[in-house]
Amino acid sequence: MQKRMIVALALLYVVVPVLLNGNNYILSLLVSSLIVAGMAVSWALLGNLGGMVSFGHAAFFGIGGYASALLVTKLGLPVMVAIPAGGVAAVLASVFMLPALRLSGPYFALAILAYAHIFKILATEFSSLTGGSAGLSSIPGLPDIFGFNLSSRLGAYFVVVSLVLVFCWVYGRIRRSDYGTALRAMHDSEDATRVVGVNSLMLKSWMLFVSAFMGGLIGAFNAHVINFLEPDYAFNSAWSVLPIVAAIFGGYRTVYGPAIGAVVIYLVDQLVFKEIMSTGHQLILGAVLAGMILFAPDGLMRLFKRKPREARNAHA
């Protein structure tokens, strides 16, 4: 396991940068795919461990982006301080979503979707602060650290890949903890876990807060990469839908599946499907996803994990 981790880290931090250094187009696509990956891990944390399917993760993404951008442009905070503050802002906003935790299934999903729409309206109407529908422009980019320009495509890649790996590590730690065991037990019978003293509402609240922080952090990072924000973009439904698609494709019940699924489907869509069909290429992506759900419902990671086991059984 440790050897695999060392190889993976070497691939991410050494091989990929060496191969792609200077190819800003591919690096830009890779950074974008990793932003989706961060959102996918955030969604899977809530959807898998928390057992709460969300259709409104765009709320966390947009709030984090706006909060970080405003803290830098209005208050002059350093970018690297404002980005985690964007995550904190998303957590504070998620407090208003706590009443929705008493709902379950599609009712919770629709309630969170409604919250995302409310925050989008607020961002549009408070034009004196957010710029309204015109949005915010000239948002400062990532700074130089020790002479290395983080605002370059390579610098942004190093930052976002580090964020996604930390997200996966946190996801894995929670999953293996006693809290993760309690959360999985809640999936089978929430009433039974309450009988043995598990505070299901508190556990769900913590999952919501952690998931919101991750989504807000990625949204804040994205704002300083693209250097502009407007409500239709920051709270676009794509930031709710793409993470779900990526997590299901990669395997939302695995730790690294959502992140890998996001990178794979985004790059394949942009580099392959878009070349085949310049307009409407999402149709091909939808067909691939439908095929995955039918033939490999546990996702890409489970599919690859199953093959070696099946091969051993065949030789037994």
pLDDT at position 121 over 50: yes
Q: Determine the Cα–Cα distance for residues 125 and 207; give it in Å rounded to an integer.
A: 30
CA 257 vs CA 198, 227, 289: distances in Å: 28, 30, 14
**Region 181-196 average pLDDT:** 66
Q: Which of 87-101, 238-252, 295-309 has the highest mean pLDDT?
A: 87-101
CB 162 within 8 A of CB 35: no
Task: Please give the structure tokens belonging to residue 157.
Answer: 């890649």
**Region 102-111 average pLDDT:** 85
Burial class, 2, CB count within 10 angstroms (exposed 0-12 / middle 13-18 / buried 19+):
exposed
CB 248 within 8 A of CB 261: yes
pLDDT for 119: 94
Q: How sure is the predictor about 197, in pLDDT bands with cuts at 50, 70 and 90? A: low
Name the DSSP class of 279. Answer: S
- Which conformational region is residue 280 in: left (phi greater than 0), alpha (psi within -120 to 50 degrees), or beta? left
Higher pLDDT, 51 or 25: 25
**Region 245-269 average pLDDT:** 88
pLDDT tens sequence across 170-184:
999 998 888 888 777
Q: Determine the Cα–Cα distance for residues 302 and 297; give it in Å rounded to an integer.
A: 9
pLDDT at position 2 over 80: no
**Region 211-219 average pLDDT:** 97
Q: Give residue for tokens 């790996």.
A: 165
Q: Which of 4, 74, 65, 15 shows the shortest CA–CA distance to 39?
A: 65
